[in-house]
Amino acid sequence: MTKHFLNPVTDVKVSKLILKHYFENLTDALISDVIIVGGGPSGLTAARELGNSGYKVVIMERKLSPGGGTWGGSMSFNKVVIQKDLKDYLNELELPFIEDEDALVVDSCLFASQLISKALKTQNVKLFNLMTVVDLEYTNNAITGVVVNNTGIEIAGLHVDPMVFQTKAVLDSTGHDAIAANIYSRRVQLPLRKEHFMNAVQGEEDTVNNTKMLANGLFVSGMAANNVDGGSRMGPIFGGMIKSGLKAAKLIMEYIKTV
Ligand code: 48H
């Protein structure tokens, strides 16, 4: 029989290589500069920005595929809309678009995959999927880490204890769920305002305005930011998510200088 591979890899070698490199990365992620909770568009944008500026970034993503709400476009029609203001940024992402009616139209699958690829190609950013953030670590009046469990364990409802990953800043970019902000709010009895009605123009401004540091070391971006401060939802338009991720990265860099 003709052999097609000069360097065949055995079953056990495949397993060994995966275990070795995955756990090397996971162990290294125990202490980082920034943990981004949720790999949606605002989180991935912040990750790329922080990674490009030399910060050690860990993304914890609950689902199998990062990308958050970008993949499905609107009603499963795989297009998203982005404001023309972001034209240069889309070119930087090498993301093709069609200009129509003073706006940009982008294939939503390409949008998701390009955000993921551009963030992860930054060597300083490591993403772990199927990891659910279930709590926060709090030390000396600041959020200093996240408590993480495997998503499979969480879905099965098994009584298995989670692990802690420490960091200087946590970004809650978990979208409508605003997981970390809600955990913080429950623990310190700080009520959140929840998101408001649909209004694309208002919502896009709100999501950038509401991107902020909620507590020492805890930042919110994207729809999570609107859930903290009562911002409008905006439907499948994504310039606000990109600008929110860029703003979050800037605020985090300023904060890290002080700790
Ligand atoms: C780890 C988690 C956890 C957890 C959730 O929803 P996202 O896409 O987030 P944003 O804010 O960057 O983008 C919002 C946008 O997609 C959207 O929903 C818009 C524009 N809606 C408008 C409207 O009117 O509805 O991504 C959040 C990510 C997802 O990948 C989740 O799986 C993940 O966070 N996540 N990751 N631990 N506990 N909870």
Q: How many domains does the chain have?
A: 1
Q: Does some domain include residue 18?
A: no
List the residue whose alpha carbon is closest to atom 18 of ligand 1. 69
If you search the block for the tokens 């009605």, which residue do you land on? 197
Q: Does some domain include residue 6?
A: no
DSSP structure string for 31-66: B-SEEEE--SHHHHHHHHHHHHTT--EEEEESSSS-
Nearest-5° angle of CA 248, CA 136, CA 153?
Answer: 110
Q: Does some domain include residue 98?
A: no
Nearest-atom number in ligand 1 for the CA of 176 is 6
**Pairing label, strands 34-37, 57-61:** parallel
Q: What's the Cα-to-Cα distance from 23 to each of 17, 18, 38, 94, rounded to whole Å? A: 10, 8, 20, 32
Q: Does some domain include residue 75?
A: no
* CATH code for position 159: 3.50.50.60
Low-confidence ranges of the chain (pLDDT < 70): none
CA of 234 to the centre of ligand 1 (A): 13
Q: Does some domain include residue 99?
A: no
Neighbouring-strand partners of residue 105: 81, 98
Q: What pLDDT is stored for residue 12 in this prediction?
A: 98
Q: Does some domain include residue 87?
A: no
pLDDT in tens, 119-141: 999 999 999 999 999 999 999 99
> pTM for the whole thing?
0.98
Range(s) of the domain holding residue 180: 34-67+124-256
List the residue whose alpha carbon is closest to atom 21 of ligand 1. 235
List the residue whose alpha carbon is closest to atom 25 of ligand 1. 235
pLDDT in tens, 15-32: 999 999 999 999 999 999
Whether ligand 1 lies within 6 angstroms of the CB of 43 is answered as yes
Report the alpha-carbon distance of residue 61 to residue 38 in Å, rounded. Answer: 5
Which residues are within 8 A (CB) of 198 and not within 5 positions of it... i.e. 6 or more apart?
A: 232, 233, 234, 235
Q: Does some domain include residue 44?
A: yes
Whether ligand 1 lies within 6 angstroms of the CB of 57 is answered as no
List the residue whose alpha carbon is closest to atom 5 of ligand 1. 174
CA of 255 to the centre of ligand 1 (A): 24
Q: Does some domain include residue 164?
A: yes
